[in-house]
Each structure stands twice: as C-alpha cells, then as structure tokens.
Structure 1
Amino acid sequence: MLTSQRKQLILEALKRDGQVVAKTLSVEFDVSEDTIRRDLRELAAEGQLQRVHGGALPASAAVVDLAGREQIESASKAAIGRAAAGMIARGQIAFVDGGTTAVQMVRHLPLDLRATIVTHSPSVAVALANHAELEVVMIGGRLFRHSMVNVGAAAIEALSHIRADLYFMGVTGVHPQAGLSTGDREEAYVKRALVEHAAETVVLASAEKLNAASPYKIADVTAAGTIVVERNTAEALTAPFDALGITIVRA
C-alpha cells in the first residue's frame, strides 16, 4: 500500500470514529507503529489532525486567520452570540473572550443593559462603543493579531484582580477527553486564568469545534458549565458533553 493511500485511510477512519490509535492502525495496515507515527506526524504538519498520546484526534477547522474565521458560518455564530448575550443579567460582571463569535455576542447585548464587560479583545470593546449603560473594562497586554486579543503576563496580572460572574470563552477545540483547547500557548494561559477568576464558564462552540482538538489545552472540558451550540448540531456531537453533566444550549 502506498503511503498516500494509507494516509487517506487514516483520515477516513478519523472522520468515521472520531479518533485513531497508532497501535490499532499498525495492525490493520500490517506496518510498524513507527511508520504510523510518521504518518500521523506528517498529517499533523499539514493540519489534517491533532496528535495525542497513542494516536490522533480531529484537528479543529477553526484555526485560520481572523479574516478567514469571519467567513465561517456567520449566521450560526450570530445565533450562538444572541443566545449567549441573553445570559447576562443586570448588574453582573462578565468576562468576554476574543474571536468572531464573541463579537457577535456583544452586538446582541441590549442597549439599556447595565452590567460590566471585561475583555482583552479590542474588537469586542469597539463593538460595545454605543452601549452607554455598560461599563467596559479593557485588559491590556501584547496584541496577538491572529485572534485580536491581548496576551502575556500583563493581561494575566490585570484580570487576576477581578472576579466575574460569567466567562464567555472562545475556543478552537472542544473534546470530551482532550478538553478545551486553542492554537496559541500564550492565549491558552490567558483563557485558563479567566476560567479561574469566573464563577461560571460558558463556551461558545460552532459545530467545527466540537470533538476536535488544538495543540494547547486550556482546561478539562468540565471546566465549562454550559456549551452554546448551533440549533441543528447533531445529537451525536453533543451527547458526550451532556453525559458529563454540561448544560447544552441550542441557539
């Protein structure tokens, strides 16, 4: 069997089963585990999968640049954002992450809502310019242009002095075993700190992020109390999270 054929079969198995195990593949294809591991390394380098100990998981499709992400299912992201916006009550303090879904979310906040939004995203802050009743607190730091968020030690230090009622998290991967993940190390640190300083974490997850993984883990998936998904998301995608006691909100 040609290497290209074997790789294609690996990707088909990954799509069908949601994960692949190197040892199982080596038996199936009658090749060494080293050969399979090389295949997985090369496929991971191409962005086709995310390697994990002993095998691989689907790679998140949500790792393109900001302009590319803005084109991904914008109507679905607007619906998720609308549902999330309705969770903020008068007088609450909410952390709002960066990303295109977070921007959609704050655009749906009522203009007369009196609450405090804390964000490390310049895009989110600008989207709230006309919400005169909202107090908007910007967390500073080094601008990570891929996601248009501020990261680094300064950001983590600033947010460590705030206790929020809710944290609306954007991710690139939501997986029952691999947890909540993203594609940048420093961004993962900031998200982890936001989880630790919020009473409840709400994950905003369009379909391409579910049961997928990215290189940098933020936290176990159970750090999320709620996951907001598109209304027509397949039950098979959400069932593993429901089984863990996480509330699934269909937007």
Structure 2
Amino acid sequence: MLAAERRDHLLGLLAREGKIVAKDVAADLGISEDSVRRDLRDLAAEGLCQRVYGGALPVSPAVADYAARQAVTPDGKRQVAAAAAALVRPGSALILDGGTTALAVARALAPDLACTVITHSPTIAAALLDHPRAEVFLLGGRIFKHSAVACGAAAVEAAQNVSADLCLLGVTGVHPQAGLTTGDAEEAAMKRALAARAADTYVLASSEKIGTASRFRVLPWEDISGLVTDADRRHPVVEELAARGVEILAAG
C-alpha cells in the first residue's frame, strides 16, 4: 500500500472509529508498527490527529486561535452556557475559567444576580461590567493569548489564595481514556489550580470536543463533579462516561 493510501486509510479509520490503534492497523495492513507510527507523526504534524500512547485520537478543533473558536458551534456553546449558568446560586462564589464557552457563561448569567466571580480572563471580567450586583475579582499573570487568560507562576499563586463554591472549567478535549485535556502545559496547570480552590468543579464541553484529545491532561475524571455538554446522550463517549459514573448535565 502506498503512503498516500495508508494516509487515507488512517484518516478514514479515525473518522469511523474515533481512534487508531497502531498494532491493529499494522496487523490489518501487513506492515510494521514503525511504519504506522511514522504515518501518525506526519498526520499529527499537519494537525490531523493527536498522537497518544499506542496510536492516535481525533484532534480537538478548540486548538484554533481565540477569534476562530468564537465561530465554532456557537449554538452549542450557548446551550452549554445556559445549563452551566443555572448552577450558579445567588450569593455564591464562582471561579469562571477563560475561553469562548466560559465567555458565553458570563453572558448567560442573570444581569441582577448577586454573586462573586473570580476569573483569570480579562474578557470574562469585561463581560461582567454590566452586572451591577456581581463582584468581580481578576487574577493576574502572563496573558496566554490563545485563550485570553492569565497563566504562569504569578497567576497560579494568585489562584491559591481564593476559594469558591463552584468552578466552571473549560477544556479542549474530552475522552474516556485520554481524559480532560488542553493544548498548553501552563494553561493546564492553571486549570488544576483553579479547580482545586472550589467545592465543586463542572467541565464545560460543547459537542465538538467530545471524543477528542489535546496534548496536556488537565484533571482525572474523579476530580470533577460533572460534565456539562450539548452532545447527544447516545453519543458513545457520553454513554461510556455515564457508565463510569460521571455525572452528565444535558444542555439544550
């Protein structure tokens, strides 16, 4: 089989099965695992898959830049945001992560809601300026422009000095085996620091992130309270997570 044919086969397998297991592909095609791994390296370099141990998974579309991500499934993000905003109780303290779905949550909060919002995103803070009863605390640090959030040592240290009832956390990938992932190591560390300061943490995941993976793991499944998603409950990944005991909050 020619290299171009192997490439098409791998991409088709990824689309149909949602994963590639290198040893299985090698056995099916009668080639070496090294050949499959080389093909996967080439596909990953083009942004067409996310390599993991033993094979590859679909790459998350949320690795695009911030402006481009605002146009990705806006209706799904609004549905997730509305369901997540309903978790915020009057008088409570909320840690709100950055990113486009979290921005939709800020916009979905009732304008007259009395609460405290702690965020490391200047765009989130700005979106809450017209919420007169919301106290807003902005955590500072180096701005990671991909998600318009503060990251790094200063931001993590600031996060360690706050506490909240609820944390609403964004990720770029949601997969039963790869876990909750994002594309930057410092951003992943910041997300862990934020989640550690809340009594409950719910992950925001619009449907395009379900079954995909990025490079850096954020949290294990046992460290979150639930997943808020607009994905169909019959989606194989959603069904697997529910069977493992992950609380699924349906949006929409």
Say if 2:81 and 2:104, in contact at 8 Å, map to a contact too: yes
Q: Distance in 1 between matches of 2:137 and 2:163?
A: 13
Alignment partner of 2:189: what SS?
A: helix
Partner in structure 1 of residue 97 of structure 2: 97
Partner in structure 1 of residue 235 of structure 2: 235
Residue 224 of structure 1 pairs with residue 224 of structure 2: yes
Q: Distance in 2 between matches of 1:236 and 1:223?
A: 22
Partner in structure 2 of residue 148 of structure 1: 148
Q: Distance in 2 between matches of 1:7 and 1:187?
A: 32
Q: Distance in 2 between matches of 1:85 and 1:104?
A: 9
Q: How high is the TM-score relative to the length of structure 1?
A: 0.96
Q: Residue 212 and residue 222 in structure 1: after superposition, are their counterparts in 2 closer, same or farther (change >3 A)?
A: farther
Alignment partner of 1:103: what SS?
A: helix
Report the CA distance between 1:233 and its aligned residue: 5.8
The code of the aligned residue for 2:223 comes to: A
Report the CA distance between 1:235 and its aligned residue: 3.2
Q: Distance in 2 between matches of 1:11 and 1:224?
A: 32
- Aligned ranges for residues 21-32 of structure 1 at < 5 Å? 21-32=21-32
Partner in structure 2 of residue 85 of structure 1: 85
Say if 1:174 and 1:180, in contact at 8 Å, map to a contact too: yes
Say if 2:210 and 2:231, in contact at 8 Å, map to a contact too: no
Report the CA distance between 1:222 and its aligned residue: 3.1
Partner in structure 2 of residue 42 of structure 1: 42
Query: C-alpha offsets along residues 94-133 of structure 1, whole Å, 9 cap, x if unaligned?
Result: 1101111111111111122111100000010000001111
Query: C-alpha offsets along residues 119-158 of structure 1, whole Å, 9 cap, x if unaligned?
Result: 0000100000011111100000001111100000000000
Please list every run of at least 4 consecutive aligned residues from structure 1 whose deviation after the TM superposition is greater than 6 angstroms.
Answer: none
Q: Distance in 2 between matches of 1:175 and 1:4?
A: 28
Report the CA distance between 1:33 and its aligned residue: 1.0
RMSD after superposition = 1.2
The code of the aligned residue for 2:240 comes to: P
The code of the aligned residue for 2:46 comes to: E
Gaps of 5+ in 2: none
Partner in structure 2 of residue 59 of structure 1: 59
Alignment partner of 2:110: what SS?
A: coil
Q: Distance in 2 between matches of 1:46 and 1:120?
A: 31
Q: How high is the TM-score relative to the length of structure 2?
A: 0.96
Partner in structure 2 of residue 169 of structure 1: 169
The code of the aligned residue for 1:167 comes to: C
Report the CA distance between 1:232 and its aligned residue: 4.4
Alignment partner of 1:62: what SS?
A: helix
Partner in structure 1 of residue 119 of structure 2: 119
- Aligned ranges for residues 68-83 of structure 1 at < 5 Å? 68-83=68-83
Say if 1:222 and 1:244, in contact at 8 Å, map to a contact too: no
Say if 2:233 and 2:239, in contact at 8 Å, map to a contact too: no
Gaps of 5+ in 1: none
Say if 1:174 and 1:221, in contact at 8 Å, map to a contact too: no
Q: Distance in 2 between matches of 1:27 and 1:143?
A: 46
Residue 250 of structure 1 pairs with residue 250 of structure 2: yes
